[in-house]
């Protein structure tokens, strides 16, 4: 319910340990991600695969992959986990 409502659940100790590699500077623009990209990233944070995300938000799996790629590029992150942690750290999602 928390995830579906746009929230996030994580062990605080885990987030603090993993987030040590996150840039010290916040993103120049808090609106760097589109509404759809934030929605996809929230579902990624919930542990959903691209296929599952596509089913939830009624998009093609390829479209979800494109959104994930855009998120990684915009946030300058190398993988989904880093993007989620970055977005949580800077309160983008």
6 lies in a domain?
A: no
Examine the pLDDT at 47 and tell me if it is beyond 80. Answer: yes
Does pTM top 0.85 for this prediction?
no
Please give the structure tokens belonging to residue 44: 């990624």
**pLDDT band for position 12 (50/70/90)?**
low
State the CATH number of the domain containing residue 76: 3.40.50.2300
20 lies in a domain?
A: yes
Comparison of pLDDT for 4 and 23, the residue scoring more: 4
Tally of domains within the chain: 1
Helix ranges, the chain (H): 12-18, 35-45, 50-57, 61-75, 80-89
2 lies in a domain?
A: no
Comparison of pLDDT for 4 and 76, the residue scoring more: 76
Q: Which domain holds residue 84?
A: 12-89
Comparison of pLDDT for 16 and 78, the residue scoring more: 78
7 lies in a domain?
A: no
Averaged over 47-65, what is the pLDDT?
96
């Amino acid at each position: 319910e928390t995830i579906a409502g746009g929230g996030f659940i994580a062990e605080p100790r885990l987030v603090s340990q993993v987030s040590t590699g996150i840039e010290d500077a916040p993103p120049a623009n808090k609106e760097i991600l589109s509404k759809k990209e934030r929605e996809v990233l929230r579902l990624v944070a919930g542990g959903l695969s691209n296929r599952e995300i596509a089913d939830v938000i009624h998009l093609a799996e390829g479209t979800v992959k494109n959104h994930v790629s855009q998120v990684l590029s915009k946030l300058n992150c190398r993988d989904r986990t880093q993007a989620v942690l970055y977005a949580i750290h800077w309160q983008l999602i």
